[in-house]
Structure 1
């Protein structure tokens, strides 16, 4: 896990250096934004602290980047969201606190001022192994996820409503999805809808709805949310519809220091019959680069 976090930090630094170079180039049709942060949470208690508590340290890294191209009616939007964190409680082994990879690309053609026809692809997975901890009396941990176990690759064709730069709604009546389960050890414990004996599940006849919102709701306070709903035409009952929501509220203390509240909510009946969620509140360092240049 340490190696994974170090690799992600190296990616953040190298991406920052690259973007700092590209955003100074003139005469482009690209609009770029890049934000990367490192959050640290720490608490300590003496052995005789009567109010109770446990010493802990947590480290989270995240990266959010966009590169959008527009020329007349043609647009090409690209987004990357990476999140990874570790937590160490006194008396316990180091564990993950958050782990997410999300990549999205969309090619669109505007047929009105607010509507685009588009084709898109997005990928969702995680960096490292995930465990269900202490499932037995002897403290045994069970491997339940890994990179590409599961992994979701979704293609979509449809129309997008984008009335302003802050909000967009994509409606895709045709959205085939491929669910990967490449780790055989994970497959022994969780299948994520992939049939026994196979490593890929293909859903050709399906629809997808996506919505995104990104805006400064107050001075130095930004709210960003991304929602995705996936509907398999063969499984149209309400409990079979997948829902995913990622939301981040960021308050800038100054140019580099910020307080952020992050949350991920997932409902996927193939994974679990109940809603899954994770949440983190952190004070950390945020580095942002934005470049807007038009030929």
Structure 2
């Protein structure tokens, strides 16, 4: 009798352990499936965008330590239109920003100005790799002035305007992690003739209105979570001109950090650095920090 009871107890224990292990395995498989569904989007078109308004203000009245009242604002649009099928991918991104700042007793000053459109078409090769063709366009909304003399205009809408196009290879793990290499890239820089009347402008020679370059391009995109409610978006663009000073690589890097407070409000930090020796022999740096109001659509 004791042997029978012991046998029954062991069988019940084994069945319990087996059931627990099976439940764990099932739970693990379910979690993996959910994660996979989050990463994999259905075939077809997908659209998403964010409109952001950033604002900053500083006010001083009889402040003995010194200080100057100022107010600044920045609006931005980040919009994606993407297509996906089993063998094709087509990613399109529009980025635009415009900002103004006003110090007490002074005129309005532009602090940010950018229009950029990126389009990458890819056909499945193997794994995460695609044969690709890309197009990039950059310009600005408003006039720009010489920092040393605000009466001298040095740029305006579509002057300069940059166009890049070329074939290459795209590595894409997801919409948030990808890069494109294009070793045969054509680049065109366009400026209005009045900016080259007395000298070169943005690499365009005196008396000309455009400059053609041929070289290699690298574009990378990586967006990830730093922690809960905090995301970091990295956008890197590199270009080298085979026809002139190929060792001088043009660089454009942007870091956007968004710290969500709730569905609408967030604290936004934007950092951008540009190196383009045709425009300026040194690093151009832009930093924007502010409370953001975000509208998704």
Q: What TM-score do you get using the length of structure 2 for normalisation?
A: 0.82
Q: Which residue of 2 aligns with 1:177?
A: 187
Indicate conservation of the 8 Å contact 1:33/1:67, yes or no: yes
The 2-side partners of 1:42 and 1:198 are apart by 43
- CA shift at 1:237, angstroms? 4.6
- CA shift at 1:134, angstroms? 4.8
- The structure where helix makes up a greater share of residues is 2
TM-align CA RMSD: 1.7
Q: 1:142/1:256 Cα in 2 relative to 1: closer, same or farther (>3 Å)?
A: same
Indicate conservation of the 8 Å contact 1:181/1:187, yes or no: no
Q: Which residue of 1 aligns with 2:46?
A: 31
Give CA-to-partner distance per residue, 1:174-207, whole Å, 9 cap, x none. 110000102614764761111211111111x311
- CA shift at 1:263, angstroms? 1.5
The 1-side partners of 2:126 and 2:190 are apart by 37
5+ long unaligned stretches in structure 1:
1-26, 290-295
Q: 1:59/1:69 Cα in 2 relative to 1: closer, same or farther (>3 Å)?
A: same
Q: Which residue of 1 aligns with 2:288?
A: 280
Indicate conservation of the 8 Å contact 2:196/2:206, yes or no: no
- CA shift at 1:141, angstroms? 2.3
Q: Which residue of 1 aligns with 2:226?
A: 217
5+ long unaligned stretches in structure 2:
1-41
Superposition pairs of residues 157-196 of structure 1, within 5 angstroms? 157-182=167-192, 184-185=194-195, 188=198, 191-196=201-206
Q: Which residue of 1 aligns with 2:27?
A: none
Q: What TM-score do you get using the length of structure 1 for normalisation?
A: 0.82
User: How many residues are treated as equivalent by the alignment?
Assistant: 256
Of structures 1 and 2, the one scoring higher in RCO (CA 8 A, sep 6+) is 1
The 2-side partners of 1:29 and 1:134 are apart by 51
The 2-side partners of 1:190 and 1:278 are apart by 24
